[in-house]
Structure 1
Amino acid sequence: MSCPYLEIYGDGSSTAGYFVNDIVLYDRVSGDLKTSSANRSVIFGYFMVTLPFFFHTCGATQSRNLGSSNEESLDGILGFGKANSSMISQLASSGKVKNMFAHCLDGVNGGGIFAIGHVVRPKINMTLLVPNQYMTSLVNIIACTLASMPHYNVNMTAVQVGHDFLSFTPDIFDSGDRQGVIIDSGTTLAYLPEMVYEPLVSKILSRQPDLKLQTLHDEYTCFQYSKSLDEAFPNVTFHFENSVTLKVYPHEYLFPYNGLWCIGWQNSGMQSRDRKNMTLLGDLVLSNKLVLYDLENQTIGWTEYNCSSSIQVLDERTGTVHLVGSQNISSACHLNAWFITVLILLATLQHFLGC
Protein backbone atom coordinates (compact mmCIF):
# COMPACT_ATOMS: atom_id res chain seq x y z
CA MET A 1 0.00 0.00 0.00
CA SER A 2 1.48 3.35 -1.03
CA CYS A 3 1.42 6.21 1.48
CA PRO A 4 1.31 9.73 0.02
CA TYR A 5 2.36 12.95 1.72
CA LEU A 6 1.76 16.64 1.10
CA GLU A 7 3.93 19.27 2.78
CA ILE A 8 3.10 22.99 2.60
CA TYR A 9 5.85 25.15 4.08
CA GLY A 10 5.61 28.46 5.88
CA ASP A 11 6.41 30.53 2.78
CA GLY A 12 3.69 28.81 0.74
CA SER A 13 5.92 26.46 -1.26
CA SER A 14 5.00 22.79 -1.20
CA THR A 15 6.12 19.28 -2.07
CA ALA A 16 4.22 16.01 -2.54
CA GLY A 17 5.17 12.39 -3.08
CA TYR A 18 5.27 9.05 -1.25
CA PHE A 19 6.88 7.79 1.95
CA VAL A 20 9.50 5.06 1.69
CA ASN A 21 11.75 3.27 4.17
CA ASP A 22 15.39 3.29 3.09
CA ILE A 23 18.95 3.33 4.38
CA VAL A 24 20.67 6.68 4.99
CA LEU A 25 24.46 6.65 4.74
CA TYR A 26 26.40 8.92 7.09
CA ASP A 27 29.83 9.38 8.64
CA ARG A 28 30.29 8.50 12.32
CA VAL A 29 32.57 10.92 14.12
CA SER A 30 35.55 9.02 15.51
CA GLY A 31 37.82 11.89 16.60
CA ASP A 32 38.69 15.50 15.86
CA LEU A 33 37.62 16.06 12.24
CA LYS A 34 37.67 12.26 11.72
CA THR A 35 34.81 10.00 10.65
CA SER A 36 33.97 6.40 9.76
CA SER A 37 31.12 5.07 7.61
CA ALA A 38 27.77 3.98 9.09
CA ASN A 39 24.10 3.74 8.08
CA ARG A 40 20.61 3.73 9.54
CA SER A 41 17.08 3.06 8.35
CA VAL A 42 14.71 6.06 8.15
CA ILE A 43 11.38 6.89 6.52
CA PHE A 44 11.28 9.90 4.21
CA GLY A 45 9.39 11.40 1.28
CA TYR A 46 10.51 10.09 -2.10
CA PHE A 47 9.54 9.66 -5.74
CA MET A 48 10.91 8.43 -9.05
CA VAL A 49 10.96 10.46 -12.26
CA THR A 50 13.43 10.94 -15.07
CA LEU A 51 16.62 12.98 -14.78
CA PRO A 52 17.46 15.68 -13.95
CA PHE A 53 14.45 16.44 -11.76
CA PHE A 54 14.92 13.35 -9.60
CA PHE A 55 18.08 14.60 -7.97
CA HIS A 56 16.83 18.08 -7.23
CA THR A 57 14.16 17.07 -4.73
CA CYS A 58 12.58 14.08 -3.04
CA GLY A 59 9.04 15.18 -3.82
CA ALA A 60 7.07 14.02 -6.83
CA THR A 61 5.61 17.47 -7.35
CA GLN A 62 6.50 20.82 -5.90
CA SER A 63 5.29 24.39 -6.09
CA ARG A 64 7.35 27.49 -5.56
CA ASN A 65 7.21 30.88 -3.91
CA LEU A 66 9.67 33.76 -3.39
CA GLY A 67 10.09 34.16 -7.14
CA SER A 68 12.41 31.15 -7.44
CA SER A 69 12.26 28.39 -10.02
CA ASN A 70 10.58 25.09 -9.21
CA GLU A 71 13.96 23.39 -9.08
CA GLU A 72 15.29 25.87 -6.53
CA SER A 73 12.26 26.42 -4.33
CA LEU A 74 12.69 23.35 -2.14
CA ASP A 75 16.32 22.37 -2.67
CA GLY A 76 18.02 21.55 0.61
CA ILE A 77 14.93 20.57 2.63
CA LEU A 78 16.25 17.75 4.83
CA GLY A 79 13.40 17.29 7.31
CA PHE A 80 14.46 18.31 10.82
CA GLY A 81 11.16 19.71 12.05
CA LYS A 82 9.39 18.94 15.34
CA ALA A 83 7.00 16.36 13.88
CA ASN A 84 7.37 12.72 14.91
CA SER A 85 7.93 11.86 11.25
CA SER A 86 10.99 14.11 10.85
CA MET A 87 14.43 12.59 10.40
CA ILE A 88 15.72 14.01 13.70
CA SER A 89 12.71 12.57 15.58
CA GLN A 90 13.25 9.14 14.05
CA LEU A 91 16.95 9.16 14.91
CA ALA A 92 16.29 10.37 18.47
CA SER A 93 13.53 7.83 19.10
CA SER A 94 16.10 5.05 18.65
CA GLY A 95 17.73 6.22 21.90
CA LYS A 96 21.17 6.38 20.31
CA VAL A 97 21.02 10.04 19.33
CA LYS A 98 20.36 13.15 21.41
CA ASN A 99 17.34 15.15 20.28
CA MET A 100 19.52 18.20 19.68
CA PHE A 101 21.04 19.59 16.49
CA ALA A 102 22.76 22.70 15.19
CA HIS A 103 23.42 24.32 11.84
CA CYS A 104 25.62 27.17 10.69
CA LEU A 105 24.83 28.43 7.18
CA ASP A 106 27.84 30.14 5.60
CA GLY A 107 26.44 33.15 3.75
CA VAL A 108 29.86 34.03 2.35
CA ASN A 109 31.43 30.82 1.04
CA GLY A 110 28.43 28.49 0.92
CA GLY A 111 28.17 25.24 2.86
CA GLY A 112 28.66 25.42 6.62
CA ILE A 113 28.35 23.21 9.69
CA PHE A 114 25.69 20.68 10.64
CA ALA A 115 25.80 18.55 13.80
CA ILE A 116 23.40 16.50 15.90
CA GLY A 117 24.18 16.38 19.62
CA HIS A 118 25.41 18.54 22.48
CA VAL A 119 27.37 21.57 21.24
CA VAL A 120 29.92 22.46 23.94
CA ARG A 121 31.55 25.42 22.22
CA PRO A 122 30.72 28.08 21.33
CA LYS A 123 28.40 28.90 24.23
CA ILE A 124 24.92 29.85 23.10
CA ASN A 125 22.20 31.78 24.93
CA MET A 126 18.86 29.98 24.66
CA THR A 127 15.20 31.01 24.66
CA LEU A 128 12.17 28.77 25.23
CA LEU A 129 10.26 27.33 22.30
CA VAL A 130 6.53 28.02 22.30
CA PRO A 131 4.96 24.55 22.68
CA ASN A 132 2.75 22.84 20.11
CA GLN A 133 2.53 25.60 17.52
CA TYR A 134 0.92 24.75 14.19
CA MET A 135 0.06 26.60 11.02
CA THR A 136 -3.51 25.77 10.08
CA SER A 137 -2.66 25.84 6.38
CA LEU A 138 0.08 23.26 6.83
CA VAL A 139 -0.86 19.67 6.24
CA ASN A 140 1.30 16.62 6.50
CA ILE A 141 -0.12 13.33 5.31
CA ILE A 142 1.74 10.79 7.42
CA ALA A 143 0.86 7.08 7.61
CA CYS A 144 -1.94 7.96 5.17
CA THR A 145 -3.68 10.26 7.68
CA LEU A 146 -4.05 14.02 7.80
CA ALA A 147 -2.14 15.94 10.47
CA SER A 148 -0.67 19.39 11.14
CA MET A 149 3.05 20.15 11.19
CA PRO A 150 4.49 21.91 14.28
CA HIS A 151 7.05 24.67 13.86
CA TYR A 152 9.89 26.13 15.89
CA ASN A 153 8.20 29.19 17.42
CA VAL A 154 9.68 31.69 19.88
CA ASN A 155 8.36 34.81 21.61
CA MET A 156 9.77 38.07 20.24
CA THR A 157 9.70 41.08 22.56
CA ALA A 158 11.09 43.96 20.47
CA VAL A 159 12.50 45.03 17.09
CA GLN A 160 15.34 47.53 16.89
CA VAL A 161 16.49 49.40 13.76
CA GLY A 162 19.85 51.00 14.42
CA HIS A 163 19.42 52.62 17.84
CA ASP A 164 15.65 53.02 17.51
CA PHE A 165 13.04 50.56 18.82
CA LEU A 166 9.85 50.15 16.81
CA SER A 167 6.67 50.94 18.72
CA PHE A 168 4.21 48.04 18.99
CA THR A 169 2.89 45.50 21.50
CA PRO A 170 4.44 41.99 21.48
CA ASP A 171 1.08 40.35 20.73
CA ILE A 172 1.41 41.66 17.18
CA PHE A 173 3.44 38.51 16.51
CA ASP A 174 0.48 36.29 17.46
CA SER A 175 -1.74 35.58 14.47
CA GLY A 176 -4.96 33.64 14.90
CA ASP A 177 -4.17 30.40 16.71
CA ARG A 178 -0.43 30.87 16.16
CA GLN A 179 1.73 32.31 18.91
CA GLY A 180 5.18 33.78 18.43
CA VAL A 181 7.69 33.93 15.59
CA ILE A 182 8.54 30.99 13.32
CA ILE A 183 12.24 30.12 12.95
CA ASP A 184 12.54 28.29 9.63
CA SER A 185 15.82 27.45 7.89
CA GLY A 186 13.75 26.03 5.02
CA THR A 187 12.57 29.53 4.07
CA THR A 188 14.81 31.88 2.09
CA LEU A 189 13.73 35.36 3.18
CA ALA A 190 11.96 36.83 6.23
CA TYR A 191 8.28 37.76 6.60
CA LEU A 192 7.02 40.43 9.00
CA PRO A 193 3.51 41.67 9.89
CA GLU A 194 2.57 44.82 8.02
CA MET A 195 2.63 46.90 11.23
CA VAL A 196 6.27 45.90 11.70
CA TYR A 197 7.33 45.73 8.06
CA GLU A 198 6.25 49.26 7.11
CA PRO A 199 8.11 51.22 9.86
CA LEU A 200 11.13 48.89 9.65
CA VAL A 201 11.64 49.40 5.90
CA SER A 202 10.88 53.11 6.26
CA LYS A 203 13.62 53.55 8.86
CA ILE A 204 16.09 51.59 6.74
CA LEU A 205 15.45 53.68 3.63
CA SER A 206 15.43 56.97 5.56
CA ARG A 207 19.20 56.64 5.92
CA GLN A 208 19.50 57.18 2.15
CA PRO A 209 16.57 59.43 1.13
CA ASP A 210 17.86 60.01 -2.41
CA LEU A 211 17.55 56.39 -3.50
CA LYS A 212 15.43 55.72 -6.59
CA LEU A 213 13.30 52.73 -5.65
CA GLN A 214 12.08 50.08 -8.07
CA THR A 215 9.60 47.26 -7.48
CA LEU A 216 10.49 43.94 -9.11
CA HIS A 217 8.07 41.03 -9.57
CA ASP A 218 5.46 43.07 -7.68
CA GLU A 219 7.11 42.27 -4.33
CA TYR A 220 10.80 43.23 -4.09
CA THR A 221 11.82 46.82 -3.30
CA CYS A 222 15.17 47.44 -5.02
CA PHE A 223 17.62 50.26 -5.73
CA GLN A 224 21.07 50.99 -7.12
CA TYR A 225 23.88 51.58 -4.63
CA SER A 226 27.64 51.29 -5.11
CA LYS A 227 29.07 52.13 -1.67
CA SER A 228 29.40 50.09 1.54
CA LEU A 229 26.03 48.69 2.61
CA ASP A 230 27.01 48.27 6.25
CA GLU A 231 28.10 51.90 6.50
CA ALA A 232 25.03 53.28 4.74
CA PHE A 233 22.20 51.30 6.32
CA PRO A 234 21.29 50.32 9.92
CA ASN A 235 21.49 46.92 11.56
CA VAL A 236 18.20 45.27 12.49
CA THR A 237 18.11 43.54 15.89
CA PHE A 238 15.35 41.21 17.07
CA HIS A 239 14.89 40.77 20.83
CA PHE A 240 13.49 37.58 22.38
CA GLU A 241 12.71 36.23 25.84
CA ASN A 242 15.64 35.51 28.17
CA SER A 243 17.57 38.49 26.73
CA VAL A 244 18.37 36.61 23.52
CA THR A 245 19.02 38.88 20.52
CA LEU A 246 19.49 38.28 16.80
CA LYS A 247 21.30 40.97 14.82
CA VAL A 248 20.96 41.17 11.03
CA TYR A 249 23.43 43.29 9.09
CA PRO A 250 22.64 45.26 5.90
CA HIS A 251 24.78 42.95 3.76
CA GLU A 252 22.56 40.11 5.01
CA TYR A 253 19.09 41.63 4.58
CA LEU A 254 19.93 43.21 1.21
CA PHE A 255 20.49 40.83 -1.70
CA PRO A 256 21.83 41.54 -5.22
CA TYR A 257 19.57 41.13 -8.23
CA ASN A 258 20.27 42.27 -11.80
CA GLY A 259 22.68 45.00 -10.72
CA LEU A 260 20.38 46.24 -7.95
CA TRP A 261 20.16 45.73 -4.19
CA CYS A 262 16.80 44.39 -3.03
CA ILE A 263 15.29 44.35 0.46
CA GLY A 264 14.87 40.83 1.82
CA TRP A 265 12.21 41.77 4.37
CA GLN A 266 8.78 40.76 3.09
CA ASN A 267 5.33 42.05 4.06
CA SER A 268 3.31 39.08 5.31
CA GLY A 269 0.25 41.32 5.39
CA MET A 270 0.22 40.89 1.60
CA GLN A 271 0.15 37.09 1.83
CA SER A 272 -2.87 34.81 1.59
CA ARG A 273 -5.35 34.56 4.48
CA ASP A 274 -3.70 31.55 6.13
CA ARG A 275 -0.28 33.24 6.21
CA LYS A 276 -1.47 36.83 6.63
CA ASN A 277 0.59 38.83 9.15
CA MET A 278 2.63 35.86 10.30
CA THR A 279 6.26 36.40 11.35
CA LEU A 280 8.71 33.98 9.78
CA LEU A 281 12.49 34.33 9.97
CA GLY A 282 14.34 32.36 7.29
CA ASP A 283 17.89 32.06 6.03
CA LEU A 284 18.15 35.80 5.49
CA VAL A 285 18.52 36.21 9.26
CA LEU A 286 19.91 32.77 10.15
CA SER A 287 22.97 32.77 7.89
CA ASN A 288 26.39 33.33 9.47
CA LYS A 289 25.01 32.20 12.83
CA LEU A 290 25.30 28.92 14.70
CA VAL A 291 21.71 27.95 15.54
CA LEU A 292 21.14 25.28 18.21
CA TYR A 293 17.84 23.39 18.55
CA ASP A 294 17.65 21.67 21.96
CA LEU A 295 14.52 19.57 21.75
CA GLU A 296 15.43 17.76 24.97
CA ASN A 297 14.76 21.01 26.87
CA GLN A 298 12.50 22.68 24.28
CA THR A 299 14.82 25.65 23.74
CA ILE A 300 16.54 27.30 20.79
CA GLY A 301 19.42 29.76 20.55
CA TRP A 302 22.03 31.21 18.24
CA THR A 303 25.25 33.17 18.11
CA GLU A 304 27.17 34.94 15.36
CA TYR A 305 29.80 32.55 14.10
CA ASN A 306 32.32 31.84 11.37
CA CYS A 307 30.53 28.99 9.60
CA SER A 308 33.73 28.05 7.74
CA SER A 309 35.42 27.09 11.03
CA SER A 310 34.55 24.28 13.48
CA ILE A 311 32.58 23.64 16.67
CA GLN A 312 33.07 21.33 19.66
CA VAL A 313 30.55 18.59 20.42
CA LEU A 314 30.29 16.20 23.37
CA ASP A 315 30.28 12.40 23.24
CA GLU A 316 28.11 11.83 26.31
CA ARG A 317 28.96 8.14 26.44
CA THR A 318 32.70 8.73 26.91
CA GLY A 319 32.69 12.36 28.05
CA THR A 320 35.15 13.32 25.31
CA VAL A 321 34.81 16.43 23.16
CA HIS A 322 35.52 16.41 19.43
CA LEU A 323 35.85 19.02 16.71
CA VAL A 324 33.21 19.07 13.99
CA GLY A 325 34.27 21.04 10.92
CA SER A 326 32.52 22.84 8.10
CA GLN A 327 31.71 21.39 4.71
CA ASN A 328 31.42 23.13 1.37
CA ILE A 329 28.05 22.06 0.01
CA SER A 330 27.73 24.87 -2.51
CA SER A 331 27.53 22.13 -5.17
CA ALA A 332 23.97 21.49 -3.98
CA CYS A 333 22.63 22.85 -7.27
CA HIS A 334 24.24 20.00 -9.23
CA LEU A 335 22.48 16.81 -10.32
CA ASN A 336 23.34 14.62 -7.36
CA ALA A 337 22.64 17.34 -4.82
CA TRP A 338 20.29 15.45 -2.53
CA PHE A 339 22.51 12.36 -2.31
CA ILE A 340 25.65 14.41 -1.63
CA THR A 341 23.88 16.59 0.95
CA VAL A 342 22.68 13.59 2.97
CA LEU A 343 26.12 11.98 2.91
CA ILE A 344 27.78 15.19 4.04
CA LEU A 345 25.27 16.30 6.67
CA LEU A 346 24.69 13.12 8.63
CA ALA A 347 27.38 11.78 10.94
CA THR A 348 27.06 10.09 14.33
CA LEU A 349 29.11 9.45 17.44
CA GLN A 350 26.91 7.07 19.47
CA HIS A 351 25.14 9.90 21.30
CA PHE A 352 25.51 12.64 18.71
CA LEU A 353 25.69 13.20 15.01
CA GLY A 354 28.00 15.68 13.36
CA CYS A 355 30.05 16.40 10.26
Structure 2
Amino acid sequence: MVNSPFTTLYLSEVVKMSYGSNRLSLGSLGNEVGRVLFDSGSSYTYLPEQAYSDFVVSLQDVSSKGLIQDASDPTLPICWRAKFPIRSVTDVKQFFKTLTLQFGNKWWIASTKLRIPPEGYLIISKKGNVCLGILDGSKVHDGSTIILGDISLRGKLFVYDNVKQKIGWAESDCVKPPQNFKSVPFFGGMDLPN
Protein backbone atom coordinates (compact mmCIF):
# COMPACT_ATOMS: atom_id res chain seq x y z
CA MET A 1 0.00 0.00 0.00
CA VAL A 2 2.89 2.37 0.67
CA ASN A 3 5.37 2.92 -2.15
CA SER A 4 2.90 1.28 -4.47
CA PRO A 5 0.77 2.79 -7.18
CA PHE A 6 -1.97 0.48 -5.92
CA THR A 7 -3.52 1.98 -2.80
CA THR A 8 -5.82 -1.01 -2.31
CA LEU A 9 -2.97 -3.47 -1.72
CA TYR A 10 -1.46 -4.27 1.65
CA LEU A 11 2.26 -4.61 1.00
CA SER A 12 5.03 -5.08 3.52
CA GLU A 13 8.62 -6.30 3.59
CA VAL A 14 10.02 -9.58 4.82
CA VAL A 15 13.69 -9.95 5.76
CA LYS A 16 13.79 -13.71 6.21
CA MET A 17 11.70 -16.71 5.26
CA SER A 18 12.26 -20.24 6.50
CA TYR A 19 10.70 -23.68 6.42
CA GLY A 20 11.51 -25.24 9.77
CA SER A 21 15.21 -24.40 10.16
CA ASN A 22 15.85 -24.18 6.39
CA ARG A 23 16.21 -20.63 5.15
CA LEU A 24 14.45 -19.96 1.85
CA SER A 25 15.46 -17.45 -0.80
CA LEU A 26 13.39 -14.30 -0.96
CA GLY A 27 13.54 -14.35 -4.75
CA SER A 28 14.78 -11.95 -7.35
CA LEU A 29 15.11 -8.96 -5.01
CA GLY A 30 18.02 -10.75 -3.34
CA ASN A 31 18.19 -12.35 0.06
CA GLU A 32 18.12 -9.08 2.00
CA VAL A 33 14.49 -8.07 1.60
CA GLY A 34 11.36 -9.31 -0.12
CA ARG A 35 7.90 -7.89 -0.66
CA VAL A 36 4.80 -9.52 0.82
CA LEU A 37 1.25 -8.88 -0.31
CA PHE A 38 -1.58 -9.83 2.07
CA ASP A 39 -4.40 -10.97 -0.23
CA SER A 40 -7.39 -12.76 1.29
CA GLY A 41 -8.94 -12.70 -2.20
CA SER A 42 -6.38 -15.23 -3.49
CA SER A 43 -7.19 -18.81 -2.59
CA TYR A 44 -3.56 -19.92 -2.45
CA THR A 45 -0.20 -18.52 -1.45
CA TYR A 46 2.38 -17.72 -4.14
CA LEU A 47 6.15 -17.53 -3.73
CA PRO A 48 8.68 -16.07 -6.18
CA GLU A 49 10.26 -18.74 -8.38
CA GLN A 50 13.49 -19.24 -6.39
CA ALA A 51 11.71 -19.22 -3.03
CA TYR A 52 9.20 -21.75 -4.36
CA SER A 53 12.00 -24.00 -5.66
CA ASP A 54 13.79 -23.84 -2.29
CA PHE A 55 10.53 -24.65 -0.51
CA VAL A 56 9.77 -27.66 -2.74
CA VAL A 57 13.31 -29.00 -2.20
CA SER A 58 12.82 -28.63 1.57
CA LEU A 59 9.66 -30.75 1.31
CA GLN A 60 11.44 -33.74 -0.21
CA ASP A 61 11.97 -35.31 3.21
CA VAL A 62 8.22 -36.02 3.55
CA SER A 63 8.65 -39.00 1.22
CA SER A 64 10.95 -40.60 3.80
CA LYS A 65 8.10 -40.24 6.29
CA GLY A 66 5.63 -42.32 4.30
CA LEU A 67 4.10 -39.80 1.89
CA ILE A 68 4.49 -40.49 -1.83
CA GLN A 69 4.10 -37.79 -4.45
CA ASP A 70 1.02 -38.48 -6.60
CA ALA A 71 1.31 -36.82 -10.02
CA SER A 72 -2.05 -38.30 -11.03
CA ASP A 73 -3.92 -35.95 -8.67
CA PRO A 74 -4.93 -32.86 -10.72
CA THR A 75 -5.99 -30.81 -7.67
CA LEU A 76 -2.74 -28.85 -7.32
CA PRO A 77 0.78 -29.22 -8.80
CA ILE A 78 2.14 -31.14 -5.77
CA CYS A 79 0.09 -33.76 -3.93
CA TRP A 80 1.09 -36.74 -1.80
CA ARG A 81 -0.73 -39.95 -0.95
CA ALA A 82 -0.22 -41.98 2.19
CA LYS A 83 -0.41 -45.67 3.04
CA PHE A 84 -3.25 -44.75 5.42
CA PRO A 85 -6.47 -42.81 4.84
CA ILE A 86 -6.08 -39.03 5.07
CA ARG A 87 -9.30 -37.43 6.30
CA SER A 88 -7.88 -34.06 7.34
CA VAL A 89 -4.62 -32.12 7.48
CA THR A 90 -4.44 -33.14 11.15
CA ASP A 91 -3.66 -36.71 9.98
CA VAL A 92 -0.44 -35.61 8.24
CA LYS A 93 0.63 -32.29 9.75
CA GLN A 94 3.35 -33.98 11.81
CA PHE A 95 5.22 -34.70 8.55
CA PHE A 96 5.51 -30.99 7.73
CA LYS A 97 7.13 -27.95 9.38
CA THR A 98 6.10 -24.38 10.00
CA LEU A 99 6.76 -21.75 7.34
CA THR A 100 7.97 -18.54 9.02
CA LEU A 101 8.15 -15.04 7.58
CA GLN A 102 10.19 -12.51 9.54
CA PHE A 103 9.14 -8.90 9.04
CA GLY A 104 11.05 -5.71 9.71
CA ASN A 105 14.11 -4.45 7.96
CA LYS A 106 17.67 -5.71 7.95
CA TRP A 107 18.77 -3.09 10.50
CA TRP A 108 16.15 -3.91 13.15
CA ILE A 109 17.22 -6.01 16.08
CA ALA A 110 13.63 -6.83 17.05
CA SER A 111 11.40 -8.33 14.41
CA THR A 112 7.93 -9.71 14.00
CA LYS A 113 7.28 -13.24 12.75
CA LEU A 114 4.27 -14.67 10.99
CA ARG A 115 4.21 -18.41 11.54
CA ILE A 116 2.21 -20.47 9.06
CA PRO A 117 1.68 -24.02 10.34
CA PRO A 118 1.00 -26.92 7.94
CA GLU A 119 -2.73 -26.23 8.29
CA GLY A 120 -1.97 -22.87 6.63
CA TYR A 121 -0.57 -24.31 3.41
CA LEU A 122 -1.98 -27.84 2.97
CA ILE A 123 -5.37 -29.05 1.72
CA ILE A 124 -6.94 -32.48 1.31
CA SER A 125 -7.98 -33.33 -2.26
CA LYS A 126 -11.08 -35.23 -3.39
CA LYS A 127 -8.78 -38.22 -3.97
CA GLY A 128 -7.84 -38.18 -0.27
CA ASN A 129 -4.34 -36.86 -0.87
CA VAL A 130 -2.64 -33.98 0.88
CA CYS A 131 -1.74 -31.15 -1.52
CA LEU A 132 0.52 -28.12 -1.28
CA GLY A 133 -1.50 -24.88 -1.36
CA ILE A 134 1.62 -22.81 -2.05
CA LEU A 135 2.31 -22.26 -5.73
CA ASP A 136 5.01 -20.89 -8.01
CA GLY A 137 4.23 -17.18 -8.26
CA SER A 138 6.68 -16.34 -11.03
CA LYS A 139 3.80 -15.46 -13.39
CA VAL A 140 1.49 -13.91 -10.77
CA HIS A 141 1.37 -10.19 -9.89
CA ASP A 142 4.93 -9.00 -10.64
CA GLY A 143 6.54 -12.44 -10.14
CA SER A 144 8.81 -11.27 -7.32
CA THR A 145 6.27 -10.64 -4.55
CA ILE A 146 5.18 -13.21 -1.96
CA ILE A 147 1.39 -13.31 -2.05
CA LEU A 148 -0.15 -14.60 1.16
CA GLY A 149 -3.51 -15.96 0.11
CA ASP A 150 -6.52 -17.08 2.08
CA ILE A 151 -5.08 -20.55 2.80
CA SER A 152 -2.19 -19.02 4.78
CA LEU A 153 -4.29 -16.37 6.53
CA ARG A 154 -6.68 -18.91 8.09
CA GLY A 155 -6.72 -19.06 11.87
CA LYS A 156 -5.56 -15.48 12.19
CA LEU A 157 -7.41 -12.20 12.58
CA PHE A 158 -5.76 -9.36 10.62
CA VAL A 159 -6.03 -5.64 11.21
CA TYR A 160 -5.00 -3.06 8.63
CA ASP A 161 -4.30 0.37 10.10
CA ASN A 162 -4.22 2.63 7.06
CA VAL A 163 -3.57 5.77 9.12
CA LYS A 164 -0.50 4.44 10.95
CA GLN A 165 0.58 2.26 8.01
CA LYS A 166 0.66 -0.93 10.10
CA ILE A 167 -0.60 -4.47 9.78
CA GLY A 168 -1.25 -6.63 12.83
CA TRP A 169 -2.55 -10.11 13.49
CA ALA A 170 -3.62 -12.39 16.29
CA GLU A 171 -4.34 -16.08 16.46
CA SER A 172 -8.08 -16.66 16.25
CA ASP A 173 -10.49 -19.51 15.82
CA CYS A 174 -12.36 -17.10 13.51
CA VAL A 175 -15.72 -18.45 14.68
CA LYS A 176 -16.66 -15.45 16.77
CA PRO A 177 -14.84 -12.10 16.59
CA PRO A 178 -13.70 -10.63 19.90
CA GLN A 179 -16.23 -8.35 21.66
CA ASN A 180 -13.71 -5.60 22.33
CA PHE A 181 -11.25 -5.60 19.46
CA LYS A 182 -8.79 -3.34 21.30
CA SER A 183 -8.27 -6.01 23.94
CA VAL A 184 -6.99 -8.59 21.44
CA PRO A 185 -3.30 -9.29 22.16
CA PHE A 186 -1.59 -8.97 18.80
CA PHE A 187 1.34 -11.32 18.34
CA GLY A 188 2.48 -9.66 15.17
CA GLY A 189 2.47 -6.37 13.49
CA MET A 190 4.88 -4.18 11.68
CA ASP A 191 5.31 -0.86 10.04
CA LEU A 192 4.74 -0.85 6.33
CA PRO A 193 7.68 0.32 4.23
CA ASN A 194 7.90 4.06 3.62
TM-score range, shorter chain: 0.7 to 0.9
Partner of 2:149: 282
**Structure ID, larger Rg:** 1
Partner of 1:238: 101
**One-letter code of the match for 2:116?**
V
CA contact (8 A) 2:159 2:168 kept: yes
Report the alpha carbon displacement of residue 277 of structure 1 after superposing the two structures with TM.
Answer: 3.4
Report the alpha carbon displacement of residue 250 of structure 1 after superposing the two structures with TM.
Answer: 1.4
Distance in structure 2 (CA, Å) of the matches to 1:131 and 1:192: 21
Q: 1:238-261 deviations in whole A, cap 9, x for unaligned?
A: 111151111111122110112211
Cα 1:173/1:154, change in 2 over 3 Å: farther
Cα 1:217/1:291, change in 2 over 3 Å: same
Identity rate, percent: 24
- 1:160 has 2:18 as partner: yes
Where has structure 1 moved over 3 Å in runs of 4 or more? Answer: 167-170, 215-219
Distance in structure 2 (CA, Å) of the matches to 1:172 and 1:216: 34
Residue of structure 2 aligned with 1:171, choices 9, 14, 29? 29
Partner of 1:194: 49
Distance in structure 2 (CA, Å) of the matches to 1:294 and 1:235: 27
* Secondary structure of the structure 2 residue equivalent to 1:186: coil
Distance in structure 2 (CA, Å) of the matches to 1:308 and 1:218: 27
CA contact (8 A) 2:63 2:69 kept: no
Distance in structure 1 (CA, Å) of the matches to 2:94 and 2:74: 28
> Which TM-score applies when normalising by structure 2?
0.73
CA RMSD after TM alignment: 2.9
Partner of 2:134: 265
- Report the number of matched residues: 168
Distance in structure 2 (CA, Å) of the matches to 1:239 and 1:290: 18
* Secondary structure of the structure 1 residue equivalent to 2:63: coil
Residue of structure 2 aligned with 1:182, choices 19, 30, 37? 37
Cα 1:207/1:224, change in 2 over 3 Å: closer
Partner of 1:133: 4
Q: 1:160-193 deviations in whole A, cap 9, x for unaligned?
A: 111222255793489xxxx721111111110001
Cα 1:171/1:196, change in 2 over 3 Å: same
CA contact (8 A) 2:76 2:132 kept: no
Residue of structure 2 aligned with 1:223, choices 52, 70, 80? 80
Cα 1:279/1:260, change in 2 over 3 Å: same
Q: What are the equivalent positions in structure 2 for 1:94-113 lying under 5 Å apart?
A: none
Residue of structure 2 aligned with 1:205, choices 26, 44, 60? 60
Distance in structure 1 (CA, Å) of the matches to 2:145 and 2:23: 20
Distance in structure 2 (CA, Å) of the matches to 1:187 and 1:168: 20
Question: Which one has a larger percent strand, Structure 1 or Structure 2?
Answer: 1
- 1:293 has 2:141 as partner: no
Distance in structure 2 (CA, Å) of the matches to 1:215 and 1:132: 43
Q: 1:2-24 deviations in whole A, cap 9, x for unaligned?
A: xxxxxxxxxxxxxxxxxxxxxxx
Unpaired segments ≥5 residues, structure 1: 1-129, 135-147, 315-320, 324-355
Partner of 1:248: 116
Distance in structure 1 (CA, Å) of the matches to 2:94 and 2:170: 22
Unpaired segments ≥5 residues, structure 2: 105-109, 185-194
Distance in structure 1 (CA, Å) of the matches to 2:28 and 2:114: 16
